[in-house]
């Protein structure tokens, strides 16, 4: 029998969950448990890590999983690497549902960097007003450039004081639009935007808003993941499952 594990945490994963539920597929949705109120899914849902590669391989065997769809965020590379290794170990088919990265539109001013350290280096020493649109992880790294103001956008209110001396958090959950992001940046007199190249329409708004305002963007490239089958839409994954897993879709 076909049984699918869908590794989620993205808009695309939620889209695929709806399609799988609509097709009557036998599937489990998995959240890391990073946010306090994850969006409810139309599939049985589990929350929390598996315990590395051995834990995931055990889970796949114990639950009789035949197919894994990795629809995690492109920067959730630890989970994606684990999925490649555990699926190989357990003999389970794996496909990644990955949104394409953003490409620079005319008139934009982007500096591409490899990682968080590169983004920190690319910022001025002091005096900049930075929209740090990278979520809650890695924020403390920017303390190395403590002379700047930082605006954070977080899904949940922070439990601890922000690890930066001059910072403010807005609490909001995407998708976002260009008009809203433009107004946010103007209100906070932003001079620089730091973002991860996550891809996707809702998260792109900040880049288009920066372009409209003539602001420089420091864009962090995606971390590397071992070779695996990659598809770019929920519909393509359904077609692959229909073929591979005889889902009848």
Ligand X SMILES: NC(=O)c1ccc[n+]([C@@H]2O[C@H](COP(=O)([O-])OP(=O)(O)OC[C@H]3O[C@@H](n4cnc5c(N)ncnc54)[C@H](OP(=O)(O)O)[C@@H]3O)[C@@H](O)[C@H]2O)c1
Chain positions contacting ligand X, by CB under 6 A: 7-10, 30-32, 34, 49-52, 55-56, 72-73, 75-79, 82, 135, 196
* Shortest Å distance, C-beta 169 to ligand X: 16
User: What's the closest the beta carbon of residue 160 comes to ligand X, in angstroms?
Assistant: 17
Least CB distance to ligand X at residue 60 (A): 12
67: tokens are 């197919």
Tracing tokens 């790294």 back to the chain, one arrives at: 141
Residue nearest ligand X by beta-carbon distance: 49
Residue with tokens 């589990």: 46
∠ CA(231), CA(222), CA(135), 5° rounding? 105
For residues 200 and 230, is the Cβ–Cβ distance under 8 A? Answer: no
Closest CB to ligand X among 11 and 148? 11
Strand, helix or coil for residue 185:
helix
Q: Report the residue number, 12 or 210, with the smaller CB distance to ligand X.
A: 12
Distance CA 112, CA 231 (A): 24
Q: Which of 77, 87, 68, 88 is nearest to 27 (CA)?
A: 68
* Distance in Å, CB of 246 to ligand X, minimum: 25
96 secondary structure, DSSP code: E
For residue 166, which phi and psi values (nearest 5 degrees)?
A: -125, 90
CA distance 22 to 249: 10
Query: For residues 50 and 131, which CB has a smaller minimum distance to ligand X in the complex?
Result: 50
Residue 191 or 204: the one with the smaller Cβ distance to ligand X is 204
Alpha-carbon 70 to chain mean position: 12
For residues 234 and 12, the answer to whether their CB atoms sit within 8 Å is: yes
Q: Which is nearer to ligand X, 30 or 148 (CB)?
A: 30
Phi and psi (nearest 5°) for 73? -65, 145
Residue 42 or 78 having the CB closest to ligand X? 78
Closest to ligand X by CB, 38 vs 216, is 38
* Residues 15 and 234 sit within 8 Å (Cβ to Cβ): yes
């Amino acid at each position: 029998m076909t049984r699918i594990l869908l590794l989620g945490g993205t808009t695309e994963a939620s889209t695929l969950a709806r399609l799988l539920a609509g097709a009557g597929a036998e599937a489990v949705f998995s959240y890391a448990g990073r946010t306090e109120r994850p969006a409810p899914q139309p599939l049985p849902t589990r929350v929390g890590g598996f315990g590395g590669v051995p834990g995931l391989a055990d889970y796949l065997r114990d639950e009789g999983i035949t197919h894994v769809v990795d629809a995690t965020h492109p920067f959730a590379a630890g989970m994606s690497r684990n999925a490649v290794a555990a699926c190989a170990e357990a003999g389970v088919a794996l496909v990644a549902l990955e949104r394409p990265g953003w490409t620079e539109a005319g008139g934009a001013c982007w500096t591409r960097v490899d990682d968080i350290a590169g983004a920190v280096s690319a910022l001025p020493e002091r005096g900049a007003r930075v929209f740090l649109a990278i979520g809650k992880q890695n924020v403390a790294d920017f303390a190395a450039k403590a002379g700047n103001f930082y605006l954070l956008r977080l899904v949940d209110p922070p439990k601890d004081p922000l690890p930066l001396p001059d910072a403010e958090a807005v609490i909001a959950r995407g998708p976002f639009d260009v008009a809203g992001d433009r107004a946010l940046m103007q209100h906070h007199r932003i001079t620089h935007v730091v973002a991860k190249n996550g891809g996707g329409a809702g998260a792109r708004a900040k880049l288009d808003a920066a372009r409209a305002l003539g602001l420089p963007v420091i864009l962090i490239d995606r971390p590397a993941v071992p070779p695996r089958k990659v598809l770019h839409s929920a519909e393509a994954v359904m077609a692959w499952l229909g073929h591979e897993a005889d889902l009848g879709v």
